[in-house]
């Protein structure tokens, strides 16, 4: 990967951006896309939109959500411990023992999610998975007043781990889901800026996907594109305990995943496959029988409908702080999205 691109990927992945609190990722996205987009703007929801060739046809929307899962401070106890709820879908077993950052107006404050030591757990406790509301964050506060002097109810929290490269082109981070997708739509726009398409292209880093595809809904309405591609992660099935019978045979390093099913316009699907084959980009297929849990779902149902596609990157350990992917798939997803968009013209009919 190009050094500047890798630096952007690291910066956006490391930027804390739980749903509803995406401003730091948006800043990173704006700074990067400003270099090559014709225009970059942020709407009232917080979606950040980089535009190329605004008067072109057809109008195409890319969506990569830049929010990540996190926690939100709900209560400060008399002893100064912070109780919290989820932002997005969590496996509570992951939270125990983590270092966290509480993002306050005084900056990001370190803390830990503590638990009673194993010695003090009775047999029943050892078997039980704690619920999130039973856990607490310890920032080292003296008491409630001390904690409340820096932390406010509603401050968001992220787990304090950052991007790390692994062997063989693999990398780990929290929040690859889906700041990787925001990265891909920006990279595709950069490639298209070098080799300009006929289409008008709106590369959106959407907000609030993890809590109900909320940013994609309003940005799709605002942009009013006829064609839309969402970029997200999908479950890899090449590690222990994941059942290929349920998710298919999806492997990191074997290329981006092109989705097929009711949420996907069949002509968009075929054009994505044709493009991958013509460009020599490796790809995999996945099938989803209904609406996907991605921005593609909200996009397809925009106004009178949008011809929608979904490109995914295989991810191990989704919604944990140690998500793993292959960087090559991320690059290839951007290449596929750009090459697909180059092929679009206003004579194409996407009626199934």
Residues that bind Zn ion (CB under 5 A): 177
Q: In what order do the strands lie in the sheet with 323-326?
A: 164-165, 170-173, 323-326
d(CA 335, CA 341): 10
Shortest CB 340 distance to Zn ion, Å:
23
d(CA 267, CA 309): 9
CA-closest candidate to residue 175, choices 158, 190, 188, 198:
158
SS3 for 81? coil
Q: Please, what's the b/e burial string for 177-193 (b: 16 or more CB within 10 A of its CB; e: otherwise)?
A: bbbbbbbbbbbbbbbbb
Closer to Zn ion at the Cβ: 179 or 260?
A: 179
CA-closest candidate to residue 279, choices 261, 256, 250:
256
Give me 103's structure tokens: 């993002």
Closer to Zn ion at the Cβ: 89 or 97?
A: 89
Shortest CB 348 distance to Zn ion, Å:
31
Shortest CB 31 distance to Zn ion, Å:
24
Catalytic residue IDs: 209
- Structure letter (DSSP) for residue 80: S
3-state helix, strand, coil in the chain (%, to 5): 35, 25, 40
Shortest CB 318 distance to Zn ion, Å:
6
Give me 226's structure tokens: 């006829």
Shortest CB 273 distance to Zn ion, Å:
25
d(CA 268, CA 266): 5
Closer to Zn ion at the Cβ: 19 or 218?
A: 19
Closer to Zn ion at the Cβ: 199 or 288?
A: 288
Count of C-beta atoms within a 10 Å radius of residue 49: 24
Closer to Zn ion at the Cβ: 307 or 310?
A: 310
Contacts of 145 (CB under 8 A, 6+ apart): none
CA-closest candidate to residue 11, choices 146, 199, 173, 124:
173
Count of C-beta atoms within a 10 Å radius of residue 154: 10
Q: Phi first, then psi: give them for residue 188, nearest 5 degrees.
A: -60, -40
SS3 for 307? strand
Closer to Zn ion at the Cβ: 59 or 319?
A: 319
Name the closest residue to Zn ion (Cβ): 177
Shortest CB 301 distance to Zn ion, Å:
19
Closer to Zn ion at the Cβ: 288 or 338?
A: 288
Shortest CB 177 distance to Zn ion, Å:
4
């Amino acid at each position: 990967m190009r050094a500047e691109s890798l630096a952007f990927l690291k910066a956006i992945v490391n930027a804390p951006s739980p749903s509803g609190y995406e401003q730091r990722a948006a800043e990173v996205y704006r700074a990067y896309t400003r270099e090559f987009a014709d225009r970059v703007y942020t709407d009232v929801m917080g979606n950040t939109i980089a535009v190329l060739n605004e008067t072109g046809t057809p109008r195409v929307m890319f969506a990569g959500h830049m929010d990540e899962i996190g926690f939100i401070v709900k209560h400060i106890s008399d002893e100064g411990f912070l109780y919290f709820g989820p932002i997005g879908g969590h496996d509570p077993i992951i939270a125990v023992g983590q270092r966290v950052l509480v993002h306050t107006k005084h900056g990001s404050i370190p803390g830990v999610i503590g638990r009673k030591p194993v010695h003090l757990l009775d047999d029943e406790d050892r078997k039980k998975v704690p619920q999130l509301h039973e856990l607490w964050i310890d920032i080292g506060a003296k008491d409630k007043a001390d904690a409340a002097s820096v932390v406010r109810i509603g401050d968001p929290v992220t787990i304090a781990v950052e991007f790390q490269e692994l062997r063989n082109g693999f990398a780990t981070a929290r929040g690859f889901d889906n700041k990787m997708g925001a990265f891909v739509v920006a990279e595709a726009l950069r490639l298209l800026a070098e080799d300009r398409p006929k289409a008008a292209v709106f590369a959106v880093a959407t907000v609030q996907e993890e809590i109900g595809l909320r940013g994609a809904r309003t940005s799709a309405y605002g942009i009013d594109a006829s064609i839309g591609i969402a970029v997200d992660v999908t479950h890899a099935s090449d590690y222990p305990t994941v059942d290929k019978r349920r998710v298919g045979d999806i492997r990191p390093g074997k290329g981006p995943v092109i989705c097929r099913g009711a949420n996907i316009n069949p002509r968009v699907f075929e054009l994505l496959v044709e493009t991958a084959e013509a460009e020599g980009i490796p790809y995999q297929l996945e099938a989803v029988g209904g609406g996907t849990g991605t921005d593609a779902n909200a996009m397809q149902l925009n106004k009178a409908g949008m011809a929608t596609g979904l490109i995914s990157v295989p991810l191990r350990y989704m919604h944990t702080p140690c998500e793993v992917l292959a960087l090559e798939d991320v690059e290839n997803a951007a290449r596929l999205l750009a090459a697909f968009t180059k092929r679009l013209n206003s004579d194409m009919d996407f009626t199934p």
